[in-house]
């Protein structure tokens, strides 16, 4: 694992979007993002916000193979 920087933002957001795009069970993400049109854009905006808040208030980590992350 390495500590992510703002240069890793796009990669981290992509990982998070891929992880949650098909999860349609009731949860807090789906409450915010909804399941209708533009789901991907809304999910991406939420994950960008989560990344930014995590960088501001803590840390973001990216796996060595860049296939996983921790906020």
Both tokens assigned to 34: 């909804």
What pLDDT is stored for residue 24 in this prediction?
85
pLDDT in tens, 10-66: 999 999 999 999 998 888 998 889 887 899 999 999 999 999 999 999 999 999 999
**CA distances, 21 to each of 7, 17, 35 (Å):** 23, 6, 10
- pTM for the model: 0.91
What pLDDT is stored for residue 34 in this prediction?
87
Domain ranges of the chain: 2-70
Cα-Cα-Cα-Cα torsion 7, 13, 15, 20, nearest 10 degrees, comes to: 170
What pLDDT is stored for residue 20 in this prediction?
94
What pLDDT is stored for residue 50 in this prediction?
97
């Amino acid at each position: 694992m390495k500590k992510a920087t703002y240069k890793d933002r796009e990669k981290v957001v992509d990982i998070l979007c891929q992880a949650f795009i098909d999860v349609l069970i009731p949860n807090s993400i789906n409450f915010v993002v909804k399941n209708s049109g533009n789901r991907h854009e809304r999910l991406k905006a939420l994950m960008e916000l989560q990344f930014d808040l995590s960088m501001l208030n803590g840390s973001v980590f990216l796996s060595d193979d860049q296939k996983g992350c921790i906020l």
